[in-house]
Amino acid sequence: MPVYLCIVLLPLTLSVLSGWPARSFWDELASAAGMVAFAILLAEFLLSGRFRLISGGVGMDVTMRFHQLLARSALVFVVVHPFLYTTPFAWSLPFDPTRELTLAQPGYALAAGALAWILLPAFVLISIARAELFKRYENWRLGHGLGAAVIAGATWYHATEAGRYASAPILYWTWTGLLVIALASLGSVYVFRPLYQLRRPWRVASIKRAAERTWQVDLTPDGHDGLAYRAGQFVWLNIGHSAFSLSENPFSIASAPSQKGMLSFVIKELGDFTSTLGEIPEGARAYVDGPFGHLTLDKHPAPGIALIAGGVGIAPMLSILRELGHNGDRRPVTLVYGNRSAAQIVAGDELTEWAARPGNELVHVLSEPMDGWTGKTGMVDRALIAGCFGKDEHRAWVYVLCGPPAMMSGVEKTLIELGVAPENILSERFSYD
């Protein structure tokens, strides 16, 4: 956070230190709003740049939520920016009979600013309505990346040509440097990372049904020694496309790091890629970008571990409990595993075997149980959580959550109310919306 604030406030600070004579309060405020907005926009590229340094501590879902909220904050600054100026006018604009908007600026610089000013609100609105507007996620990704680059380029031109303070070399080069860093982080996702992946390809070893509408996908490294990751992390997986393709999706790794080499995933059918998993032939080429994510126990030496999974949220839990088993970790572990029906339970036999070992407890919960079901029924809610964990466990254990957004929000709230410290709750959402 302090680093983020430094980046966003750097151009403004340099302007204040530049020693230019102050203009009217409103003119200075207008410039400040424009500068902060542009700096936030450039920092957005870093937030979505898959940098472990940035998302490693809080998780990719929180990072992307931050990205969305900051885009909306920048939008407010951008919208008010031209209306705050009181500077006398050099020439009027055709759409501005009041001459309120017209500034003493070069025409192209003003046009670039106007372009960015129009594009940004459209861009944010399109992002909010993404699911309704775009049938294919990849098309939205492409438009989002290109659109962001165009807005950043237009704003850079506007800021450096029309901005009063950017006429000082230090600010000109600061904006230029920040733009280059922003575009380089875009390039890192779409060019540099794929180039690296080309040298470390994978092959599909097998794809088999793991449960109703759910597949287990196993990959083996092709000519390298695999991926170094921690149990609970995820990767962007691309199967059957060029390394530079936009067709890649985030999936948690379900295998354990100790299962050297091989990577295993548990994937639920949802959209265009996941619904075609059954058609992918063995031996298909795959690329893996990662690992990412903070759903890992390394920094949590708690005396006990609670794993709470809903549906396909079991994937990172499998990785964690497989790794705990391999390491001979003797801490008590309770896995609460919610599903709609028994047909959706993944790795049922393995989990039963795991639960038979001392210290392990497995709580299956079904919301639509079949006749004869003897396990828990209903939702993974407050009553269920309160019944599974006692006061000592609330105080000292670490809680790892992964599942549908509604379940996660409910369980997080419940755990806090039951006295679990927020730093002892690790969660990863499977959607950024």
Ligand X SMILES: Cc1cc2nc3c(=O)[nH]c(=O)nc-3n(C[C@H](O)[C@H](O)[C@H](O)COP(=O)(O)OP(=O)(O)OC[C@H]3O[C@@H](n4cnc5c(N)ncnc54)[C@H](O)[C@@H]3O)c2cc1C
> What does the alpha-carbon distance between residue 269 and residue 274 come to, in Å, rounded to a whole number?
5
Nearer of residues 109 and 411 to ligand X, judged by Cβ:
411
Tokens 């599903």 -> residue: 339
Residue 71 host element (H or E): helix 60-80
**Residues 247, 241 contacting (CB under 8 angstroms):** yes
Nearer of residues 211 and 388 to ligand X, judged by Cβ:
211
> What does the alpha-carbon distance between residue 214 and residue 6 come to, in Å, rounded to a whole number?
45
Measured in residues, the chain has a length of: 433
Report, in Å, the least distance between residue 412 CB and ligand X: 16
Report, in Å, the least distance between residue 38 CB and ligand X: 26
Nearer of residues 272 and 361 to ligand X, judged by Cβ:
272
Binding residues vs ligand X (CB under 6 A): 60, 131, 137, 234, 248-252, 265-268, 270-275, 312, 315, 428, 430-431, 433
DSSP 22: P
Nearer of residues 163 and 338 to ligand X, judged by Cβ:
338
Report, in Å, the least distance between residue 189 CB and ligand X: 10
Report, in Å, the least distance between residue 266 CB and ligand X: 6
Report, in Å, the least distance between residue 314 CB and ligand X: 8
Report, in Å, the least distance between residue 419 CB and ligand X: 28
Amino acid at 73: S
**Residues 262, 219 contacting (CB under 8 angstroms):** yes
DSSP 20: P
Nearer of residues 165 and 251 to ligand X, judged by Cβ:
251
Report, in Å, the least distance between residue 270 CB and ligand X: 4
Tokens 């639920």 -> residue: 268
Nearer of residues 60 and 425 to ligand X, judged by Cβ:
60
Q: Which residue is nearest to ligand X (CB)?
A: 271
Nearer of residues 239 and 388 to ligand X, judged by Cβ:
239
Report, in Å, the least distance between residue 52 CB and ligand X: 13
Q: Which residues contact 114 (CB under 8 A, 6 or more apart)?
A: none
Tokens coding 241? 């496309």
Nearer of residues 69 and 270 to ligand X, judged by Cβ:
270
Amino acid at 366: L
Tokens coding 197? 């992946």
> What does the alpha-carbon distance between residue 350 and residue 410 come to, in Å, rounded to a whole number?
28
What is 269-280 written as a DSSP string? --STTGGGGGGP
- Which of 285, 337, 283, 288 lies closest to 314, judged by CA? 337
Give the up-direction half-sphere exposure of residue 133: CA atoms within 13 A in the CB hemisphere: 14
| Bridge partners for 249 per DSSP | 237
Report, in Å, the least distance between residue 275 CB and ligand X: 6
Nearer of residues 263 and 388 to ligand X, judged by Cβ:
263
- Which of 281, 288, 293, 280 lies closest to 320, judged by CA? 293
Tokens coding 17? 């230190």
